[in-house]
Chain A
Amino acid sequence: MSMDRKRFLKLIGVSAVAAGLPGCGPGAGGGTSGGSRLPRRMREPVQLPGAKMAVVKGAGPEAITRRAIEELGGIGMFVSKGDKVLVKPNIGWDRVPAQAATTNPEVLAAVVKLCFEAGAGQVLVLDNTISDSRRCYVRSGIKKAAEELGAQALYLEDYNFRSVNVGGELIREWPVYKDALEVDRIINVPIAKHHSLSRLSIGMKNFYGLMGGRRNQLHQDVHLSIAEMTAFFAPTLTVVDAVRILTANGPSGGSLADVKQCDTVIASVDPVAADARAAGLFGIDPAEIRYLVIGSQMGLGSLDPATVETREIQL
């Protein structure tokens, strides 16, 4: 009878896998749709007098990004002088920008530039990557784009994760990157892409990149985990990079055949609406995306982007 090492260890009674999921509540795996226990939020949402979402389409990632934020009242609505700002892109994969698995460096650069124009004291750019960090940061173009403007592109170190009380139904406590806890503002700058488990990976899913631990353990209720971490991090602003979107084989992608040019940026103070609007670029009804439904039920934002006051601009 053939046997591998794992089966042998089990046979002699050595447990190689911990029973249960540390840090998760009894609702784990139950497929709950937003239980009664809501995560604590790091900051209150920004109240805007006018439009809550801007969708700008046109050539030139920097131009459409700037215009999208301008339509919401300008960067001054989100960043104050002296603020320490985390600009959170998706740098998860060892990919070049054309493959649309990581945030477009020009979109990121536009946001970083605006933060400094608003007087930000410090701008951090980071992500807990899947592939080797150094390759991801460099090949995505994000390290260069960030550092040329004076932002700090930080590689994450294991010892800088802190276990925090998230307080959710699924995620009670989880290791989170320390720097993400010590900033005044979080501006979420995800790329819009297909995801084989959650269907889409846009802004709300992007917060997985601030988490440590064995994140795949959360896949048994990935939708609730996405909503809970969005509630916890409570982004100041979401700027969705849809200049190119990854339509299939996400999250890692790789094939240029899966990339669709959309030349669009979506900016919103409503993280659910931003994702819901971006879902439309994939021809997906937001009501079919369970993390959006849960996020809406949690009060994080609007599932129907049509109900959100929006500026639609074609440059």
Chain B
Amino acid sequence: MWTRSVNYPLALVLLVGPILFFACGNKQKQADSALIALLPREQLPGQLSAAAKTDIYRDVDLYKYIDGGADLYLECGFEEVAAGEYTTRSGESIFANLYRMADPDAAFGIFSLTRRVDFRPYAAGTMGARNDYQIVFCKGVYFIDLQTTSSDSAISRDMEEICRRIDQGIQAPRDFPDVLRLLPRPGFIPHSEVYVRGPLGLNSRHFVADQNIYALNDSTPAALAYYHLREGGHPALIMVVAYPDSVEARRVFGALESHYESKAQPDDSASAVFKKLPTRLTYSSNGELEVVIRRGTILSTVFDVIPLEDPGSAPSADSSSPGK
């Protein structure tokens, strides 16, 4: 019941609030449609049928979908995923995950982290890769991941067709993160470049520390790639980070100095050696070598370690430059 002494601010919130609330909700539903609409549902190849419902996960709800795997995606800039599924007549499934990331660099980042060394290049999006069971590609702000448990060639063709339709549905320029241009060319192993925005991404290629010693973030990302540095040797991993200024680069260099110093502390095995110069740190242990070089605002690190996988066995590609 209205009285003369009306609380106008409260009344305004109560009156306008619900209207704006549902308007925002409608905007979210439109965003749902935009993502789901990219997953083909009509005239599917090979008599595939699409699951009735496509699940959507946003922000930290990603934990409900991929649990501990979510941290890496969130570090990269995850915003939303549409999780779709297609079923063949024989009951095999093709899982189609369509991720919307914060920006095209983020999409390339999670693509580069998901791509494995045994993947071969695949012509889709900005960059694509595949093996017998999985196709991944990035385009604009989207990262697309299709997987099946069957290596059947017919299912593989169906997966390629789904992939082609999704690719066609996304309009975006072909672009790569700027930091990739800092990676050197000589010895570069094609399709091994990785773009990371934090320690989880870095550690997925080479474990440095749980802490974010390199101070990586959205505005200070890193580019990594594998290189053949010498004949017959195992490939080395090179990382490049461009800091906003030389003060920050020097600070991170100092943090790395402390890190390697504590790693090299004498113990019973006493096999670790650490040497430091004003712009270079060298750490070696058990035949493995890590070198950090500071030049102006840029830190370059060579991890000359035995990798768990052999990126040198990756199929050769058309171009030998990083990010192309």
Contacts and interface: CB of A to CB of B under 8 A. Distances in A.
Contacts of A12: 13, 17
A213 B133 CA distance: 34
B85 to A, nearest CB: 10
A283 B305 CA distance: 12
Nearest to A205: B68
Interface residues of A, number: 43
Contact of A196 (B64, B118, B204): B204
Contact of A288 (B116, B119, B133, B207): B207
A257 B68 contact: no
A197 B59 CA distance: 17
Interface in A231-262: 247-252, 254-258
B133 A256 contact: yes
B72 A197 contact: yes
B68 A197 contact: yes
A251 to B, nearest CB: 5
A216 B63 contact: yes
Nearest to A247: B308
Contacts of A283: 306, 308
A87 B206 CA distance: 34
A8 B21 contact: yes
A18 interface: no
B67 A252 contact: yes
Nearest to B16: A12
Interface residues of B, number: 42
A301 B116 CA distance: 34
Contacts of B95: 254
B24 interface: yes
B256 to A, nearest CB: 17
B200 A196 contact: yes
A38 B198 CA distance: 31
A263 to B, nearest CB: 19
Interface in B43-87: 59-60, 63-72
B149 A99 contact: yes
B301 interface: no
Contacts of B59: 6
Given A2-B27, A3-B24, A216-B60, A282 B71 contact: no
Nearest to A3: B24
Nearest to B97: A254
Task: Specify which of B27, B133, B210 lies most central, judged by the most chain A CB atoms within 10 Å of its CB.
Answer: B210
Interface in A45-102: 92, 96, 98-99
B130 to A, nearest CB: 10
Contact of A5 (B24, B64, B67, B147): B24
A196 B149 contact: no
The 10 closest A-B pairs by CB, nearest first: A216-B63, A196-B72, A5-B24, A130-B67, A197-B71, A8-B24, A251-B68, A197-B68, A252-B66, A255-B134
Interface of B: 13, 17, 20-21, 24-25, 27-28, 31, 59-60, 63-72, 95, 114, 116, 118-119, 131-134, 147, 149, 151, 200, 203-204, 207, 210-211, 306, 308-309
